[in-house]
Amino acid sequence: MRVTCSNCGLEQKEGAFCARCGTKLPKHTGGSPTMAFSSGGVATGRLERAAPLPVKPPPGSLLNLHIIRTGQILPVGGVGEYIVGRISKGQSILPDVDLEPFHAFKSGVSRLHARIRVESQGMWITDLGSANGTQVNNEKLTPHQDYPLGNKDVVRLGRLSIQALVGRD
């Protein structure tokens, strides 16, 4: 049976993860093949294990965010500042990275939850005073204080776990 990766579009034999980008693939349950994957469910509050990483993050951005629950990888970009949060109806200031497709509201992600700053000499993350807090590798961040962010660090925004992947072109 063949499935199509919902993240990069690669058609491949059924398996657990995409051979190109590492996204968790849908399972075939009979009938016609599933063509898209829904993240489904809400985080349980326990530490989630990262899905196997791709050989290297997709090219074109210095920072990619690996959504641990689904295995999807979101390219963020190069040098600059990025606000991570969720978009909700009537919101006047929008985050650069919208996590709402990954059940961000149910997982306790604030509208403007954290800022990630990417510079040539490194990356930093700052909790923006979010309601449910931010953790990096199980260390709770003090709001409005910069913390270093490295390759493969696991970040929890509320109960949503993501992994920072630092890529190079």
100 or 48, which is more confident: 100
Q: How remote is the C-alpha of 74 from its chain's centroid? A: 6
Q: CA-to-CA distance for 109 and 100, rounded, in angstroms?
A: 8
Residue bearing the bigger pLDDT, 151 or 54: 151
Q: How far is CA 69 from CA 38, 77, 86, in A?
A: 10, 22, 17
Q: Which residue has the tokens 């993350």?
A: 125
pLDDT band at 19 (very low <50, low <70, confident <90, very high): low
Q: What are the residue ranges spanned by the domains of the chain?
A: 1-37, 63-166
Q: What is the pTM of this model?
A: 0.66
Question: Residue 156's pLDDT is what?
Answer: 98
pLDDT tens digits, 51-66: 444 434 556 678 999 9
**Per-residue model confidence as pLDDT tens digits over 93-123:** 999 999 999 999 999 999 999 999 999 889 9
Fold of 63-166: Tumour Suppressor Smad4 (2.60.200)
